[in-house]
């Protein structure tokens, strides 16, 4: 007998969902009406494909890890269903059935199982800290205490949506320069390994009249053609070393400092870190999360070790009974105007609103900075590419002209 998923309104107006076995849609609807419910929808449950253990593992590997887009969709759906009056267990069950991502579906089913066993939803989420994160978990925990679950889910969804948009903007700003840089390297390698060797027969025996640039490039070309495996190995080793160094604490500090030091991009990263920190802090304060927890989470989410240390100093200061603005006014990582506005927000008791306004300003500023950085990098990359290719071309053409004049 097939199963059907239904949505009904009870006599009190509460929306309920569930699954029942029946011969047909009409039979299922009739049974529900006989129980005194008003039927909203009845649809057959799609039978899942039976997979062997190996097939299931392959499906999970192909699906990959859930990302923030999956979390955003989940949070949005959950907010809508909770606001419609569906209880949490039924909402999780419904979302799990609609989720096509194998690994994320397992996580949602696990959340439902934890809720059914009597755990708080925030406790269930805490079992997946890498996916949901401390901000998500603490905001849900705060809503469980205040009773504003659906509204809090909307707030969380808005936060995640903005973070995804910010990440897209930063990545988008680096795509064009990356393409230009890759083309420059590719053209240079092509000229040195395929074009320049063709002229060796022309220049043979005339080394005395060749310009230094031609001799230098011929030497580089010979090395790249004869010892290309060393070149490839050195590049792989260099890239691997950079990645490995970046994962160390010392290397991470160096890269984080460079992001705030390089003239072209420092203003963009500064706006990114300030906007993200203040947006996170504002959301947590408005959600009713305790101040010390808010500061600890803000430091972890800031995205830069230097800002993390700054927020840790604020945490220590507040723990001693001092105000937030006191240590912030002593750092050069925040503009003095921002520190003054935070101080005014503390004094007026509207710190959450002030932080929301400042973070909105920095979100707009970040967009402007990204456009400015992109417009600056594009001509720089084109000039560099033109200089390298032009240098190689002139190193090839000049000796030909010089030999032609000697022959005449």
**The 3-9 sheet, strands edge to edge:** 15-21, 3-9, 38-44
- 203 closest CA partner among 219, 187, 190: 219
CA dist 339 and 337 (Å) reads 5
Residue 63 has a pLDDT of 54
The segments of the chain whose pLDDT lies below 70 read: 1, 25, 40-64, 207, 403-408
Residues in Cβ contact with 361 at an 8 Å cutoff, skipping those fewer than 6 apart: none
Taking only the tens place, the pLDDT of each residue in 20-39 is: 777 776 787 788 888 887 77
Other beta carbons within 10 angstroms of residue 83's beta carbon come to: 13
So what's the pLDDT on residue 310? 93
8-34 burial: b if 16+ Cβ within 10 Å, else e: beeeeeebbbeeeebeeeeebbebbee
**How high is the pLDDT of residue 301?**
86
pTM of the full structure: 0.72
CB-based burial label for 389 (10 Å; 0-12, 13-18, 19+): middle
Q: Tens of pLDDT along 109-120? A: 889 888 888 888
What is the per-residue pLDDT for 7? 75
Distance CA 339, CA 353 (A): 15
State the DSSP H helix or E strand holding residue 43, giving kind and residue range, or none if neither: strand 38-44
The share of the chain scoring above pLDDT 70, in percent, equals 91
Q: What are the residues facing 44 on neighbouring strands?
A: 4
Q: Under DSSP, is residue 21 helix (H, G, I), strand (E, B) or coil?
A: strand
Task: Report the pLDDT value the prediction gives residue 50, as an integer from 0 to 100.
Answer: 46
H helices within 227-290, ranges in order?
228-247, 249-259, 266-287
Provide the pLDDT for residue 47: 46
Closest-CA residue to 160 (of 136, 137, 140): 136
Q: Give the pLDDT of residue 34.
A: 83
13 backbone φψ class: left, alpha, beta (φ>0; ψ -120 to 50): left
**For residue 383, what pLDDT is reported?**
85
Q: What is the pLDDT of residue 361?
A: 93
Residue 147, classed as helix, strand or coil, is coil
């Amino acid at each position: 007998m097939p199963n059907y998923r239904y949505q009904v309104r009870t006599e009190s107006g509460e929306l309920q969902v569930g699954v029942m076995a029946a011969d047909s849609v009409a039979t299922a609807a009739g049974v529900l009406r006989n129980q005194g419910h008003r039927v909203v929808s009845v649809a057959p449950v799609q039978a899942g494909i039976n997979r062997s253990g190996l097939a299931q593992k392959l499906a999970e590997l192909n699906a990959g890890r859930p990302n923030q887009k999956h979390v955003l969709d989940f949070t949005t759906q959950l907010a809508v269903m909770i606001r419609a009056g569906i209880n949490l267990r039924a909402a999780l069950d419904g979302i799990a059935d609609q989720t096509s991502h194998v690994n994320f579906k397992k996580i949602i089913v696990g959340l439902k199982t934890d809720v059914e066993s009597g755990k708080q939803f925030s406790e269930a989420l805490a079992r997946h800290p890498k996916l949901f994160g401390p901000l998500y978990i603490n905001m849900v925990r705060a809503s469980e205490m205040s009773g504003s679950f659906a509204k809090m889910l909307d707030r969380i969804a808005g936060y995640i949506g903005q973070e995804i948009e910010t990440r897209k903007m930063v990545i988008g700003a680096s795509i064009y320069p990356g393409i230009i840089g890759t083309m420059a390297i590719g053209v240079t390698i092509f000229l040195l390994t395929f074009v320049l060797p063709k002229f060796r027969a022309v220049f043979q025996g005339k080394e005395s009249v060749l310009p230094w640039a031609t001799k230098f490039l011929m030497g580089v070309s010979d090395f790249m053609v004869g010892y290309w495996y060393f070149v490839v190995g050195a590049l792989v080793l260099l890239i691997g070393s950079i990645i490995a160094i970046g994962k160390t604490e010392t290397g991470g500090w160096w890269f984080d400092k460079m992001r705030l030091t390089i003239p072209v991009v420092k203003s963009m990263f500064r706006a990114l870190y300030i906007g993200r920190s203040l947006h996170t802090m504002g959301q947590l304060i408005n959600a009713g999360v305790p101040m010390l927890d808010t500061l600890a989470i803000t430091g972890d989410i800031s995205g830069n070790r230097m800002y993390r240390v700054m927020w840790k100093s604020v945490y220590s200061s507040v723990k001693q009974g001092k105000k937030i603005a006191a240590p912030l006014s002593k750092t050069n990582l925040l503009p003095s105007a921002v520190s003054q506005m935070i101080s005014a927000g503390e004094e007026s008791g509207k710190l959450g609103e002030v932080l929301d306004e400042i973070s909105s300003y920095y979100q707009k500023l970040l967009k402007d900075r990204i456009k400015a950085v992109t417009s600056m990098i594009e001509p720089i990359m084109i000039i560099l590419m033109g200089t390298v290719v032009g240098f190689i071309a002139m190193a090839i053409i000049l000796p030909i002209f010089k030999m032609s004049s000697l022959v005449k």
